[in-house]
Structure 1
Amino acid sequence: MGRVEGKVVVITGAARGQGRSHAVRLAEEGADIIAIDLGEDIEVVGYPLGTAEELAETARLVEKTGRRVVTKLADTRDRAALRQAIDEGVAQLGRLDVVVANAAIGPVGADRPLTAFADAVDVNLSGTLNTVHAALPHLQEGASVILIGSAAAYFAAYGSDPGGMGPGGIGYAFTKQMLGHYVNWFAPFLAPQGLRINVVHPTNVNTPMLHNEAMYKVFRPDLEHPVAQDAEPGFSMVQALPIPYVEPIDVSHAVAYLASDESRFVTGTQLRVDGGAVVKNGK
């Protein structure tokens, strides 16, 4: 029997990257999946986001494991639309046991407008809270809420812009800090109902959020059009372990643990999958 056998999991940002990895990993462990994604680009981001076609591919990979999947296109910034998507998914699959609030953007770069800060907050912070609170009416005792944060939450300092991340990059770090605070504040309110909430903080992850020219320029501002090979030495400097990044599945293993009853008494935790990045660079 799988570690989350018979559970139903909602995952945002499920079209590709970490979200797809979480969906497939949890399906392999016996869960049915409600996979949600925006399915279109956000102009300020500077790199393409997941598509409806990629969300359909996530569904195909979940179904390949033998589990059920419902896909929905919804904007996490719109709580009403998100609530409708979750409600419809629960109506089809019968219950909801786990929430993985994964959807996020990384609008980095010194050339990003000031509005990139607000856009990062809208998606990464408000969108995450919208996901949790749209799902709460369906959750029963034993349910698990998992937020996807970032080791960047530990690096940001007031008045600094390390590496020329720009307002969007600083907004990204700010939102991930706030997710940690949200878990600390909210876990005691959920606990009397038997509900758990935790956050996973990955370092660099091998996804399109890392692999795009805007991010490469942060690490190689001296080059007009840097490519992955140019930026990889910089990626490797972030972690204490000799790696440039972790794979999505490395984060999914942590998600699977927090989704399972193995972590039934774990709540309010900040779980780092960071290759030692925080102990090397954290403030």
Structure 2
Amino acid sequence: MHHDLSAGPVDPSAPPRFAGKVAFVTGGARGQGRSHALRLAREGADIALVDLGSAGQVNDPDYNTATSADLKQTREDVLALGRRCVSFEVDVRDYDRLAWAAGDTAARLGGLDFVIANAGITDGFHRTWELPVENWQTMIDINLTGVFYTCKATVPHLIERGAGSALVLISSGVGLKAVPQLAHYVAAKMALRGLSTSLAQELGEYGIRCNTVLPGGINTEMTTAMVELNHIPREQLLAGFRAGQLINTDLEVADTTAAVLWLLSDEARLVTGLEMTVDAGESKK
């Protein structure tokens, strides 16, 4: 028998596509993480926000991290959308605290469906043999080990929730196509692809999916950090991003958010182990 699988008209009375879902977002206070959290909330999900706030600081490099006020504002914005929201000031280098936040989220919001491992930092440019050992360690601890900790803390709750749960790990365009003078960032972002693929293989039997999103250069607070750490004009940096792309247009956080939400949605129910570029073609130029 032939079945019509076309989407057809959208039923305006249908519940939002993420109604009843709970999403755990690291780096959720600002930038891409904030955008992901607010879109998920707008489409029906309850949100757990994790960011550094007053839980610590990042040295080597000296990095202006999200503040308690940033986290509070994002939480208020989620609540204003009529969704429940819990927030945690946690350093992703602190596994025990992350595990506590994941458990508290599941207890307070009734479970955990989605994880977006988004927290990360950048650095100034250094030739690899001149890169301070401390800067290498900080980068790997946050951008790679912090994502592993996030997955380790949350996956048992996803398994408890069952089939249909999903993770999205935020890598980078440089996770596919390296750039010079950021070897520690490139190494961490390339490694996330391996971590994600391993998780996809292990979680398939549970009906749980894991994918990566690899954004190009986006005009966010991370761009601000690159401007400050490298002492170059913002427009020069953005122009450099555009020059490396096939489509000469600035990427926005909404572009990455659209990819993340699709990967979490039922439309992507059989998509796992994917490395999705959102880079205006940079990785293919």
Query: Residue 169 of structure 2 is aligned with which of 143, 147, 151?
Result: 147
Q: Percent identity over the alignment? A: 38
2:218 corresponds to 1:205: yes
Structure 1 match to 2:157: 138
Residue aligning to 2:244: 238
Matched with 1:16 is 30
Q: 1:105 aligns with which of 121, 132, 147?
A: 121
- Per-residue displacement from partner, 1:186-208 (whole Å, max 9, x unpaired)? 21110001110000000001111
**Residue matched to 2:64:** 48
Distance 2:229 2:124 in 1: 10
**2:45 is matched with which residue: 18, 28, 31?**
31
Partner of 1:228: 234
What do the CA deviations read for 1:205-224 (whole angstroms, capped 9, x no partner)? 1111112354673xxxxxxx
Counterpart selection for 1:75 from 77, 87, 91: 91
| Aligned match of 1:95 | 111
CA distance in 1, matches of 2:152, 2:235: 41
Aligned residues: 263
Equivalent position amino acid for 1:230 in 2? Q
* CA deviation after TM superposition for structure 1 residue 259, in Å: 1.4
Report runs of 4+ in structure 1 exceeding 4 Å deviation. 213-216
Whether the 8 Å contact between 1:41 and 1:50 is mirrored in structure 2 is no
Correspondent of 2:202 among 164, 184, 189: 189
> Cα–Cα, structure 1 residues 213 and 274, in superposed 2: closer, same or farther, change >3 Å?
closer
Q: Distance in 1 between matches of 2:229 and 2:137?
A: 22
Q: Deviations over 1:225-270 (max 9, x none)?
A: 4321333322221211112x31111111111111111111110000
5 Å-filtered alignment, 1:157-176, equals 162=180, 165=181, 169-176=182-189
1:267 maps to what in 2? 272
**Larger displacement relative to structure 2 (81-90 or 45-54):** 45-54
CA–CA distance in structure 2, aligned partners of residues 240 and 21 of structure 1: 25
Cα gap change, 1:170/1:67 in structure 2, threshold over 3 Å: closer, same or farther? same
TM-score by length of 2: 0.88
Q: Does the 8 A contact of 2:122 with 2:226 survive in 1?
A: no
Q: CA offset at residue 9 of structure 1?
A: 0.3
Counterpart AA for 1:57: Q
- Tell me the distance in 1 between the aligned counterparts of 2:280 and 2:131: 29
